[in-house]
């Protein structure tokens, strides 16, 4: 009985997959930001830390920044890794 083996190098994400992920995370970040702004504007009349709607709105504002930063970091790391792999393959082909 034989088994097939697959290496991890065959399962690398393509550039379009990462670009799509970055675009989706940016869209989600904008959505969360707009929900946060809406919640803050609705609950601004009673400005207190006991105002749950305002605190949730501020949390959404902060969360949207985190989502955007994580999405951007994923794109930058993937671009850096592909650049390093490209330069590494160019160095090996020159030898």
What per-residue confidence (pLDDT) applies to 20? 93
Q: How confident is the model at residue 15 (pLDDT cuts 50, 70, 90)?
A: low
Instruction: Output 65 or 13, whichever has higher pLDDT.
Output: 65
Longest dimension (CA), the chain: 72
- Judged by average pLDDT, the poorest of 17-21, 53-57, 81-85, 87-91 is 87-91
Q: Is 95 exposed, middle or buried (0-12, 13-18, 19+ CB in 10 A)?
A: exposed
Q: What are phi and psi of 45, to 5 degrees?
A: -65, -40
Which of residues 13 and 36 earns the better pLDDT score? Answer: 36
Average pLDDT over residues 72-87: 87
Work out the number of other CB atoms within 10 angstroms of the CB of residue 61: 16
Is this prediction's pTM over 0.85?
no
Quickly state the pLDDT bin for 16 (edges 50, 70, 90).
Answer: confident
For residues 60 and 31, give the distance between their C-alpha atoms in angstroms, rounded to a whole number.
10
Instruction: Please report the pLDDT score of residue 12 as a whole number.
Output: 63
């Amino acid at each position: 009985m034989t088994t097939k083996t697959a290496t991890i190098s065959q399962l690398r994400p393509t550039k379009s997959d990462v670009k799509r992920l970055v675009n989706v995370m940016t869209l989600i970040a904008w959505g969360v930001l707009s929900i946060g702004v809406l919640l803050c504007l609705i609950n601004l009349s009673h400005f207190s830390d006991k105002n749950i709607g305002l605190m949730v709105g501020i949390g959404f504002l902060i969360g949207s920044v985190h989502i955007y930063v994580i999405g951007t970091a994923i794109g930058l790391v993937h671009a850096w890794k592909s650049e390093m792999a490209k330069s590494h393959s160019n160095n090996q082909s020159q030898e």
